[in-house]
Structures are given as structure tokens and as C-alpha cells.
Amino acid sequence: MKQLSTIFAAWDNNAEALASAIDVPGVTVRQWRARKNIPARYWQTIIAAAAKKGVTLTLAMFLPGSNDASEPAGDPVDLDRVVICDVCDTRVDQMTACTFVDCPHSERRAA
């Protein structure tokens, strides 16, 4: 996902540097990069850590489906109305069928 590459680029694509900045193990950040998904509970912490480096990140940059890091694709996203699943950290409005066993959205099917 293009938007995640912009986020990781704030730390020169160094998972250990990002992990150190937000006080999580490096393996955690590497797993996010491999899954192409950063859990929503870390977004604000990452934004604050980037600000300390003089880098501006926005919540829109973390949203799955964003084609451009600076501008979400299509209509503007109302971040107050975006619902992220607590189990799989995917936007519920863009979810078709979740593969996480414990996800309450796992029974949803593509239209």
C-alpha cells in the first residue's frame, strides 16, 4: 500500500527506528510492513513520533484504500465516521469478507 510506504519513509524505511520511536519491538513493525497494515491503536502514537522528527503525517495516510498519501482517493473521508474493526484493523465500510477467525465481520461476503 502506497500510503504505508510514506509512513515508513519518515524513518527511512527502518523498522527498528520506528519501533524505537513508539516503544514497540522491531518485529512488530516488520509484521505491520509485511501485512501492509498498521493497527489503528498505534496511529496517533506514530503521528506524534513523526511530529517530533518534523514530519507531518495525517490519519488519512493510515486508511486502507488510500491511493495517495497526501490525499485520500475519491471523495474526502470524514475521519469521525470511519469505523475500524477492533479485531482485524480493517475499515468496516470497505470490508468484503474478513479472514480473521475471531472477527465479527468474518461472515460478510462480497456483493
Structural domains counted in the chain:
2
- What angle, rounded to 10 degrees, do the helices at 15-22 and 26-35 form? 120
Q: Are residues 14 and 57 in the same domain?
A: yes
Q: Are residues 32 and 59 in the same domain?
A: yes
Window from 39-43, 47-51, 71-75, 105-109 with minimum mean pLDDT: 71-75
- Could you tell me which residue, 58 or 90, shows the higher pLDDT? 58
Rounded distance between C-alpha atoms, residue 29 and residue 91, angstroms: 20
Q: Which amino acid is at 37?
A: N
Q: Residue 103 forms beta bridges with which residues? A: none
What is the pLDDT at residue 82? 62
Q: Are residues 50 and 102 in the same domain?
A: no
Task: Give the domain extent around 91.
Answer: 81-111
Q: Are residues 18 and 69 in the same domain?
A: yes
Rounded average pLDDT over 63-92: 57
Average pLDDT, the chain: 75
Q: Are residues 52 and 99 in the same domain?
A: no
Q: Are residues 26 and 59 in the same domain?
A: yes
